[in-house]
Each structure stands twice: as C-alpha cells, then as structure tokens.
Amino acid sequence: MQRLHAWPDIHAMFRRLLIAVILGILAALAVALFRHAMLVLEWLLLSNDSGSLVNAAASLPGWRRFLTPALGGLAAGTLLWGWQRYTRQRPHAPTDYMEALETGDGQFDYGASLVKSLASLLVVVSGSAIGREGAMILLAALAASWFAQRFTPKSEWKLWIACGAAAGMASAYHAPLAGSLFIAEILFGTLMLASLGPVVVAAVVALLTTNLLSGGPALLYSVHMDAPLTAASYALMLATGLLTGLCGPLFIWGMGASHSLFLRLRLSPPWQLALGGVIVGLLSLLTPAVWGNGYSVVQGYLLTPPVFSVIAGVFICKLLAVLASSGSGAPGGVFTPTLFVGMAVGMLFARMWGVWLPHGDEVAILMGLTGMATLLAATTHAPIMATLMICEMTGQYTLLPGLLMSCVVASVLSRTLRHDSIYRQHVAEHR
C-alpha cells in the first residue's frame, strides 16, 4: 500500500515552515528597528515624542515647518547621489523587492538598498508626504534575502524574499492575510499557489512578534460604527467603488506626470528632492496635515469626520504634497498615502449625499473606509487584498461583503481604463 506522505516531503514541509517562522521574526525586528529609528530622529530633530509628524509640524514655527522637508530632501538626495557616484562602475542589481521578484534572480544590491532605506528614513522624518512602510517592507525583504542566500538553495531565494515582503507588510499594517494576498495577487505567476503556505506563516509570525514587541495586539485604525448596514449602504459602497475606479487611473497618471515634470527640470538628485521638500513645506504653512504618510489624519477623520470644506482643503493640499514627494523621487511607499486619498474621496462623496441621508457621520465613516479599500484596489488591481487589508486594519469584518463587491467593481473599471497598476508601472520603470 502506497504511503500518503513520504518522509522527504514531510521533512521539506517542516523545513520550509521553520524558515518561514525565522523570516517572520527577522521581518518584525527589521520593521521595529526602522520604527524606533524614526522615533529617535523625531525626538532629536523635531523635539517631538508623540509619534505623529502632524503634531510635530503643528508645534514648529512656520519657518521650520517650511525648511525641514526641504533640508530632509536635500540630505536624502545627497546621500543617494553620492552613493550612485561611488558605485557607478558596479553592475546593476535590484534595490527593490518588486524588481528582485519579477526581473532578478532573488539577489539584492545590499549596499544600495540600505542607503535607499536610510534616505527614506531621512525624508520620512523630515515630513515628506511619502509612506514609511515602503522602507520597512524593503528592510524585511533584505533580511529574508540575507538569510536565504546563506542557508537555502538559490532556487528558493525568490520564495523567501516574498515571505520577507509579506511579513514586513503584515508587521507594518497589522494585516497578515492582506500581506500574503499582496504577494499572491500583485505578483501573480511569480509564485505557485502551493508556495503560499510559508508566506502566510511568515506573515502571521511577523504580526505575533510585532504584537509581542509592542506590548499586545492592537488594530492599526480605531473605528466605531454602530449603525447596521442597509440596502442604501451597499448602494453607496458600490457607487464609491465606481468613483474610485475612475480616480485610480487619474492618481497613477498624476504621479507619473509629476515625476516626468521633475525630470524635465534636469536637477541633480539632491536639488530634486529638496525641491519636492520645498513644495511640501509651502503646503504645510496652509495645514500641517500634509506632513507624513497621512496615518494620523486618517485616524482622526475616522473617529470624527470633519465638514466638507475641511476635508476638501486638506485633501487638495495633501494630494499635491504626495505628488510632489513621489514625483521628486523621494524614496518611500505610496501605500498609506493612497489610503488617505481614498478615504478623503469617500468622505467627500458622503458629505455631498449627507443632505439627504440620516446618520451623516456614520455614512462618512463607512464611505471613507470604502474609499480606502476601493482606491487601493483601483491602483493595485488587487481587490481581495484591498478588502482584507481594510478589514484587518480596522476590525470591521461586517463590511467584508460590501467592500469585496465594491473593490471588484473599482478594480475592473480601473483595469479597463488603464492596464498597468501602480506596482506594474513601478517595475517597468526599473527595467
């Protein structure tokens, strides 16, 4: 009688799961290291220990609020420019986990990747409207790659980088399922479905390690929703999905156009990033909410949605700051800024309908969450990941059916209007 499981298969399975556990711990430590480095630099440079760059900006005099992003961009640009000059004769190797998974053989340029992460730390701490999570995930993938190259065969390197990236995302966003599906949906075809086991294990272990380091489990965003979902709620969620399905391609186009505009200026990297910082600094004189990745603003709005005029004003300033930061080439992610833009679009849409609908704040929160999920789906073309991301970050799992339908609508409409997602475009630019 044939045995169902041969011993070598079981041995290989446990070996992979053990490596996934190790990589989950390493990823969580890498994310924690970057987060603590941010807190230390914010305390040293901005005299702020609240962990909120918006609070830091609000406490600074106008001239410092204006100059700080520019000086941070100048320092980061000088660091990147100096490293490029120092290594210009070296062969090219990926400095981004997307590029390493799609175009490379699983190897990184470790020096350039670490310099890129340090430059990202500088622009993030100085208030640039760019996501800190991009550097966190990169460091997690680097740690996974370093381990894999020393203890695993070359044929598995891409799998372990994917585990590191998913674990980094789970640790940064407290969303292990969404982190795993981020790899499955966005990098479809790079990994076989059977390889998702180690990816999920690494992501869950990373979240558990992060919870252990931070003193206990906690949602990324605190949301209070009491009103039950009705047929009108689902209709509004679908309408928000249609709206963000149109906005997604516009947002991607805006970032590409902003980058092209900066390139036409033919500035060296230090001055290019400094110019992006100047624009953010000028906008911060209108509202300090443009500093940072938008996390604290999203949290505040999800607890107490402001009136239409306040949301519109902050939205315009923040959108311009995000385009200036990403367009100037500031190293960092656009994942969290995308969440802010989606929330603002959803809440503005809700406030427009608020005249005819009861429970105005509840509707604004619902459509804000829907906007976050659907714009994420529209820009990444990953509707399942976007749905689970919002549910895991907020704990609002009752929204899952409506969010899933809305995200599919947004993703299909966006894909119809623009074939490339924000990540496919990013990989194409680095080829």
Res 427: pLDDT? 46
The secondary element (H helix, E strand) that includes residue 209 is helix 196-214
Determine the angle formed by the axes of helices 7-46 and 110-125, rounding to 10 degrees. 40
Determine the angle formed by the axes of helices 176-186 and 196-214, rounding to 10 degrees. 150
Domain ranges of the chain: 7-214, 231-429
C-alpha to C-alpha distances, 414 to 71, 242, 251, 318, 369, nearest whole angstrom: 37, 9, 11, 22, 19
Q: How distant is the alpha carbon of residue 300 from its chain centre?
A: 19
Res 386: pLDDT? 92
pLDDT interval class at 253 (50, 70, 90): very high
pLDDT interval class at 431 (50, 70, 90): very low
Task: Give yes or no for a contact between 403 and 390, defined as CB atoms under 8 angstroms apart.
Answer: yes
Average pLDDT, the chain: 86
Given a cut of 70, is residue 199 above it in pLDDT? Answer: yes
- In the CATH scheme, what is the code of domain 7-214? 1.10.3080.10
- In the CATH scheme, what is the code of domain 231-429? 1.10.3080.10
How do residues 274-320 score in pLDDT, each as one tens digit?
999 999 999 999 999 999 888 889 999 999 999 999 999 999 999 99
Please state, for a pLDDT cut of 90, what percent of the chain lies above it: 50
As a whole number, mean pLDDT of residues 250-279 equals 93
